[in-house]
Structure formats: structure tokens, C-alpha cells
């Protein structure tokens, strides 16, 4: 594995390996960006999801339409915004509209992807970004949903990017901020959410997970270089499945890394370089 060092970066505990020319945040962002195809629509917040969307626009998906919950619709982002209301989220945009318009677009079914993060996630892709512990007397209180609940409820596919450890991947989330598949097959529809939506992929520093079509539970699709399934399971607080043909994740290319470092996040706000 080579020498390793640890540092903090945008809420991630980043392990940088001397033998590799990229860190785990860069790996996750590059892998996530590949899931966004040209011509698709995606609702994003700030941080790693925004970096992945920007990278996709600057590489294989120039026609990717990005929407921010505060109203920025289809901007060509000049630099990493620090919030969803940052003026950069309307740079060369089709519209500088409102939160209501963005959420109504999701409800009309025209948004392909929601791209989110969270403090906790369970086997069905339910997310908690509200509190850790009891709601009335929490150990930690987070900002809450923002537009995450709306995005995940009405966009067709939810992408989730997060660090992989047992504190985050839990048997039951302390607070249900954002719906995944709720309690399993049919539960989203029973709650009144559109049929056919739900979590699509979970991208972490260890691998990529998808959701079983029959059980709606999380399962490993690919493992990052040097990572074993046993390591992923050890860092997960519930039983994980595996697809029949688990593959090794393709590492970041030189082109992806250069664009990510020089154009997407030159100040290292997300990737921490």
C-alpha cells in the first residue's frame, strides 16, 4: 500500500498514499462524475457533488444541465460556489429563477438525477443530515434537509457521495431527512412518491454501491484498487450484498485529475491538495 498520511478535508478524513497520485476524495469525485451522462439533468448542492457535476461538464458531458435549489438553472460554473445561493451558480445560466421553480421542475419529472451527501445512510439509501442522537437533545445537529428531501423524492435517480465508515453506514438512521427506499420494495410508492424513483448509486472512498432490484438493499458493485469486500463490510453497520460480477473501479485518468485540480477546484476547497 505504500506510505500513508491522514488529513482533514471538507469533512472527510483523507488518506493520501505516496504510491498513488490521487487521494480518496479525488477518486470518489472522478468516479461519480462518470455516472452523469451528456444531456442529463441533475440537481446538486455544494461540495463534492458540485465538483463531480463540474468535472462531468468539463470532460464527457458538456450538455449536462445542472440545477441549484436556490434557483440557478444550467450555469456554466466559472469556479466552485460556496453555497447554493452563490452568484456563481447563475453564471451564464439559462435562468436565475427561484427555489419554487426548481422544486416544481423536480415534481414535474424533468430532473434525472439528484446528487447528495449525508451524515448517515442505511441499507435502503435513507439519509440523515439533521441530527445524531435524540432529536430534542442531539449529540450533533446538522443544517438539515435544505432541498435534499425534495430532490430525492422527485428526481428519478439519487446519487450519494460520502466517506465509508460504520458511523455513517448504519442499521437505522437517527433521523430520516431524505427518503431512499424507506423500508424496502413498494414503500416509496406507498408513501406517495413517484413510481420508478429512488437511490441509484453510492460512491465512497472504498467503492461503488448500487441497490438490488428485488430487495432494494445496498450491494457492492465495484471496489476501488487495493480494497477488498471484507474491508467494505467491516466499515459498514449492516450486511452488504454483492453483485455477481464485482469489478475493480477504474482509477482517475490524468485528464480528469488535471481538470479537477486546475479548473474545478484549484484552491483545494474540496479535494484538499
Q: How far is CA 73 from CA 77, 96, 113, 258, 268, in A?
A: 11, 6, 14, 26, 25
H or E stretch including 115? strand 113-116
Q: Report the alpha-carbon distance of residue 82 to residue 86 in Å, rounded.
A: 6
Q: Report the alpha-carbon distance of residue 203 to residue 31 in Å, rounded.
A: 8
Q: How far is CA 180 from CA 33, 156, 174, 187, in A?
A: 21, 11, 14, 9
Nearest to 238 by CA among 125, 106, 80: 125
Burial 60-93 (b: 16+ CB within 10 A, else e): ebeebbbbbbbbbbbbebeebbeebebebbbeeb
Q: Report the alpha-carbon distance of residue 52 to residue 58 in Å, rounded.
A: 10
Catalytic residues: 69
Crossing angle between the packed helical segments 24-34 and 48-58, to the nearest 10 degrees: 60
Amino acid at each position: 500500500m505504500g506510505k500513508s498520511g491522514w488529513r482533514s478535508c471538507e469533512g472527510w478524513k483523507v488518506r493520501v498514499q505516496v504510491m498513488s497520485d490521487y487521494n480518496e476524495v479525488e477518486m470518489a469525485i472522478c468516479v461519480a462524475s462518470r455516472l452523469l451522462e451528456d444531456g442529463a439533468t441533475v440537481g446538486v448542492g455544494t461540495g463534492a457533488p458540485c465538483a463531480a457535476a463540474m468535472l462531468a461538464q468539463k470532460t464527457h458531458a458538456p450538455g449536462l444541465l445542472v440545477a441549484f435549489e436556490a434557483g440557478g438553472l444550467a450555469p456554466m460554473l466559472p469556479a466552485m460556489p460556496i453555497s447554493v445561493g452563490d452568484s456563481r451558480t447563475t453564471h451564464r445560466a439559462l435562468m436565475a429563477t427561484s427555489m419554487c421553480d426548481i422544486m416544481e421542475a423536480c415534481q414535474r419529472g424533468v430532473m434525472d438525477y439528484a446528487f447528495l451527501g449525508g451524515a448517515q445512510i442505511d441499507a435502503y439509501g435513507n439519509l440523515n443530515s439533521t441530527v445524531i442522537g435524540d432529536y430534542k437533545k442531539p449529540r450533533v445537529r446538522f443544517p438539515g434537509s435544505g432541498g435534499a428531501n425534495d430532490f430525492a423524492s422527485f428526481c428519478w435517480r439519487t446519487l450519494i457521495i460520502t466517506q465509508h465508515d460504520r458511523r455513517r453506514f448504519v442499521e437505522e438512521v437517527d433521523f430520516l431527512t431524505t427518503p431512499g427506499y424507506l423500508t424496502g420494495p413498494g414503500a416509496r410508492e406507498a408513501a406517495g412518491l413517484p413510481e420508478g424513483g429512488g437511490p441509484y448509486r453510492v460512491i465512497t472512498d472504498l467503492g461503488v454501491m448500487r441497490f438490488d432490484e428485488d430487495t432494494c438493499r445496498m450491494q457492492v458493485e465495484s471496489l476501488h484498487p487495493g480494497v477488498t469486500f471484507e474491508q467494505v463490510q467491516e466499515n459498514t453497520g449492516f450486511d452488504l450484498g454483492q453483485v455477481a460480477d464485482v469489478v475493480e473501479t477504474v482509477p482517475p485518468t490524468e485528464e480528469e485529475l488535471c481538470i479537477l485540480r486546475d479548473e474545478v477546484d484549484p484552491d483545494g476547497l474540496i479535494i484538499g491538495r
